Amino acid sequence: MLCPKCTFVMKVTPYTAIHQALGAKMAEFAGYNMPIEYTGITDEHLCVCHKLGVFDVSHMGEFWVSGKNALAFIQYIVSNDASVLHDGKVQYACLMHPTGGVVDDLLIYRFNEEKYLLVVNAANVDKDFAVACKYAGQFGLEAGKTLINASEEYAQLAIQGPLAMKAMQKLCAEPLENMEYYTFKEVELAGVKNAIFSTTGYTGAGGCEVYVKNADAIQLWNAVMEAGKEFDIQPVGLGARDTLRLEMGYCLYGHELNDQATPLEAGLGWVTKFTKDFVGKAALLKQKAEGVQRKLVGFMLQDRGVARAEYEICNEQREKIGAVTSGTMSPLMKNSIGMGYVKAEYAAVGNKIYIKVRDKFLAAGIVKPPFRKM
């Protein structure tokens, strides 16, 4: 399908025709024709918070890494310590630039000591794979053989919400409901063999993410919707996916994370392990020793209005001290929330800041995410 605002043909997922048939509002995202909303962002957001919803996230990227040096390779290109993983465990990490900036944030799945799956953001698939290939040879890995970009082969559904696991258990003979957070299994789900069933997600509402081959995608969708029918399952678009992640204070690449932002600035020191060697370590050690000049903070507006990305953040003297990276009206709390980078000296929780909205300065307070628990 040709993007009406672009000059390229948009990619589709195995579920695109379903979204269109359901009347979803569609738009280009990361080169794909994706559903933004169905019944409305607020309605879909609340459904996930209180019941369950299903997201098409088939646009995400998947890289297989295998061989005796698979772990050493992953250890070198990411910030976190993947050596602590055991079979069936998932880890969040950052793919790193030598400058200390973030190439992407990703998930690492350990199948065994010589087989891993890296799940990357849709907009960064080509960039991430190029970076991975740049270092592969140092570890005896070869693109297309032991380092494989399988992104076009997989469909992925995120079934999220407090009732998600209960619904999915109906589709599998193996126990799923009591799986630990950030673990996975290969199971037969809804008659689909070798489905990767992971207790991960981007909503903070609980649930799972399921990967299957494209040929099994429609079978999975139909089974998920049928299993969730008694719990009032709804399809959910990218609009509510964004408001849900923002209520939890989760970073989004291209907003909170980018090639210039470092994990230390973004509050991701917890996935930055200096006990090993990795790309960008020297730059980050230097920044750690000198102190970061800016920090990512969460904020809640005290005045009426909505903060949006790129709005200026100011101090009491109305001097610019940073910029909003993400902002929205929280569907759950009915208040404007957001995140942004500010100069480090203004980053303490409780500090008063101002968001410049056109010619007005709206008062806000710095808070510690997640917002949803407040």
Structural domains of the chain, with CATH: 16-55+153-247 (3.30.1360.120), 68-145 (3.30.70.1400), 291-369 (2.40.30.110)
**Res 42: pLDDT:** 98
Instruction: Give CA–CA dist 63/118, Å, rounded.
Output: 5
Triad 104, 108, 114: Cα angle to 5°:
130
Three-state DSSP at 237 gives: coil
| pLDDT > 80? residue 280 | yes
User: What are the b/e assignments for 71-110, b being 16+ CB within 10 Å?
Assistant: bbbbbbbbbbbbeebeebebbbbbbbbeebbbbbbbbbbb
- Cis? peptide before 235, omega within 30° of 0: no
Average pLDDT of the segment spanning 114-128 = 98
Cβ-proximal residues to 255 (8 Å cutoff; 6+ apart), any chain = 309, 325, 326, 339
The contacts of residue 79 (CB under 8 Å, 6+ apart) are: 93, 94, 96, 263, 268, 271, 272, 273, 278, 280, 284
pLDDT at 1 over 80: no
Query: What's the token pair of residue 45?
Result: 């957001």
Overall average pLDDT of the 264-293 stretch: 98
pLDDT digits (tens, 9 = 90+) for 39-97: 999 999 999 999 999 999 999 999 999 999 999 999 999 999 999 999 999 999 999 99
* pLDDT tens digits, one per residue of 338-373: 999 999 999 999 999 999 999 999 999 999 999 997
Is the model's pLDDT at 227 over the cut of 70? Answer: yes
Q: Of the candidates 157, 367, 158, 353, which has an alpha carbon nearest to the alpha carbon of residue 247? A: 367
Residue type, 73: F
Determine the pLDDT at residue 128: 98
Tokens of 41: 């962002």
Mean pLDDT value of segment 269-285:
98
Residue 204: how many other CB atoms lie within 10 Å: 20
The whole-angstrom separation of Cα 29 and Cα 11 is 9
CA distances from 57 to 13, 54, 146, 253 (A): 9, 9, 25, 15
CA atoms within 13 A on the CB side of 371: 29
The fraction of the chain above a pLDDT of 90, given in percent, is 97
List the beta bridge partners of residue 314: 320, 354
Interval 150-202: pLDDT, tens: 999 999 999 999 999 999 999 999 999 999 999 999 999 999 999 999 999 99
pLDDT category of residue 9 using cuts at 50, 70 and 90: confident
